Structure 1
Amino acid sequence: PDEDHAGRTSAAARDGGAASRPGADTAPRGAGATTADPTTEEPAPDDATGAATVTDVIDAPGAARPAADDEHGSPIGAGVRAAETAREARVARRRRRLLERAEVRRFTRRARHRRAAWITAGTVVVVFGASILVAVYSPLMALRTIEVRGTERVDATALRQALSDQVGTPLARIDFGEVKRDIAGFPLIESYVTEEVPPHTLVVTVTERTPVVAVRSGDSFDLVDPAGIVVQSSPDRPEGVPVADVQRAELGSPVFRTMTEVVLSLPSTVRRQVTDVRATTADDVTLTLDDGSTVVWGSPDASDAKASLLAALVADHASRDPDTEVEFDVSAPDNGIVRPAQ
């Protein structure tokens, strides 16, 4: 009995040790089980015979891994998890900052636009004010050159000399009243236009008076424009300009203005043939052509229609009998008459 009890105790110890080893197989207990000698050492498995090692047992399917290899329980796993947590925190903070920044921009858009508009307006005002100050007071925009255009009878050098008192004045401060008074000293100038060309030039474009008729003045002839201004004088009778039968003292009178108005309404082909124009009143203007024919014009009313009718009658007469002097009556523009000269 004592030996049986000792054998059972040794077997239980061996079974308990085997069960404590991971992956160890336990032998079934039965009546026929043999007991091992507790003093006998169990031989180690031989690798050459293909016995399972500790690594094979651990890597076997379904076997539990040691706590040291757990990626969440080991120091390496804890470090990886801490790094991932820190990275996720940084990403979250970055996203939060971006969202906050977008929200700030969205809620401050109107204020930013208003501020930008005020800044732009202020910049424009400052630039405009600075430009005005430079243009008005700075010598950088002072007048240095006076350019005269459109002169034929007017002495351009004399006109520039008359306007030279404006040189050195900024373009924006030129006294155009004084310019007008200076140009008024040239009676051959009918009108003028000034143009400021920054930074230093003033351009004066003049329109000279055009003579319409000539008026006898002693032994010479004065070329006169429609306003009665003598444009120039000539010792010889001018060609292409009719001589008005008026005295110099009558220049600018209603009769004189009527004669010049009739001459200006003539077609250029007919005007070149007119040698004389006379009138005693404003309603009996008569023209004389270079072939000796006369034209009864009458009043200056309907001058365009009369001019067209006269051009047609002259052309027709030239084609029929150009050497015969006749009288063209266009005083009634709807009924032109050609009669022999008296």
Structure 2
Amino acid sequence: MAGPKSTDGGTTPIVGKSAKSGASPQGSGRFRSLVHRLTGRLPRLRVRTVVLSAVAVVVLVGGGVWVLYGSPWLRVQKVGVSGVEVLDADEVRTAAAVPLGTPLASVDTDAVQTRLSRLLPRIDQIEVVRSWPSGIGLKIVERKPVLLVEKGGKFIEVDEEAVRFATVDRAPSGIPVLELTPRRTVGPQRFAGEELTLAAVDVVAAVPTPVVGRTRTVKVRSYDSITLELADGRTVDWGSSELGEEKGAALTALMKAAPKARHFDVSVPTAPASAVS
């Protein structure tokens, strides 16, 4: 069979696949060379990027550390005190002993709290805060006396947790004096002074507010023998510190029902009693 012929009568040459696609051996070689150069550079580019990133991190971290600890900008210039009532602010600053000029970030706030608690027992709660860029704040909550213990002409203040926290020359107004006169008992009914003080604190917490303000003395002979003496001479037999809420309600009702009574007994709140004399 005869092959295809050209228009001039000659045989038409067969065109190869590479010739149809327009590619040439020379062009293909250039492409492979370009790919080789690019892939050869990639590892070097990655290494350079990692190195530059590491340098940047070191510079940033080092700069941050210098700003916090070495620069003159973030240093303690003032110590503020808030929440004090009886204590003096300068007294609190002295006990806190926060050195001015020290880097703010290096102040040991836990150590400051420990010093204040040890040196100023009147302080109940302490919060030490950094006030950027140059301050330390001392937020104080003072203990409040609910009872007084007289000793040597002075008065020891006792708070709601039965903690004896301060001694003052004059009794604060409206705070009853605690008299512990425990009677001698034989057997397991004996209570220590701390337990009796805590019982008295519980009683004061349960006594109606208007009555607490008029209470002069809280006498404790035993756990179940606690008596209140009011400023006008009236007395309240409270009994133990148990059922405080019920006893407080019974006392309020008795005082309204018998305003001229001189003695009230709420030791059994379900059967309260009062007497004129």
TM-score by length of 2: 0.65
Measure, in 1, the Cα distance between the counterparts of 2:60 and 2:229: 64
Measure, in 1, the Cα distance between the counterparts of 2:220 and 2:62: 64
RMSD: 3.0
On the 8 A contact 1:191/1:208 being kept in 2, the answer is: yes
Distance 1:170 1:341, change over 3 A: farther
Distance 1:291 1:199, change over 3 A: same
Q: Write out aligned runs for 1:89-168 (5 A).
A: 133=65, 134-135=67-68, 138-168=71-101
Measure, in 2, the Cα distance between the counterparts of 1:308 and 1:242: 20
Amino acid across the alignment from 2:267: S
Amino acid across the alignment from 2:89: A
Task: Please give the secondary structure, in 1, of the residue aligned with 2:233.
Answer: coil
In the alignment, is residue 304 of structure 1 matched against residue 245 of structure 2? yes
Amino acid across the alignment from 1:311: T
In the alignment, is residue 228 of structure 1 matched against residue 169 of structure 2? no
Higher helix content, 1 or 2: 1
1:273, CA displacement in angstroms?
1.6
In the alignment, is residue 191 of structure 1 matched against residue 128 of structure 2? no
On the 8 A contact 2:250/2:272 being kept in 1, the answer is: no
Which protein, 1 or 2, shows the higher relative CO under an 8 Å CA cutoff with sep ≥ 6? 2
On the 8 A contact 2:150/2:177 being kept in 1, the answer is: yes
Distance 1:218 1:232, change over 3 A: closer
> Bigger shift: 137-146 or 221-230?
221-230
In the alignment, is residue 332 of structure 1 matched against residue 268 of structure 2? yes
Task: Please give the secondary structure, in 2, of the residue aligned with 1:206.
Answer: strand
> Bigger shift: 146-155 or 174-183?
174-183
1:232, CA displacement in angstroms?
3.5
In the alignment, is residue 264 of structure 1 matched against residue 198 of structure 2? no
Structure number, greater radius of gyration: 1
| Identity among equivalent pairs (%) | 29
1:267, CA displacement in angstroms?
2.6
Q: Which runs of 5+ in 2 are unaligned?
A: 1-52, 182-190
- Equivalence for 2:42: none
Measure, in 2, the Cα distance between the counterparts of 1:302 and 1:258: 12
Distance 1:278 1:132, change over 3 A: farther
In the alignment, is residue 245 of structure 1 matched against residue 176 of structure 2? no
On the 8 A contact 1:222/1:230 being kept in 2, the answer is: yes
Measure, in 1, the Cα distance between the counterparts of 2:192 and 2:148: 11
On the 8 A contact 1:242/1:277 being kept in 2, the answer is: yes
Distance 1:171 1:337, change over 3 A: same
In the alignment, is residue 317 of structure 1 matched against residue 251 of structure 2? no
Measure, in 2, the Cα distance between the counterparts of 1:140 and 1:253: 51
Distance 1:130 1:275, change over 3 A: same
1:136, CA displacement in angstroms?
5.2
In the alignment, is residue 175 of structure 1 matched against residue 108 of structure 2? yes
Measure, in 2, the Cα distance between the counterparts of 1:311 and 1:210: 25
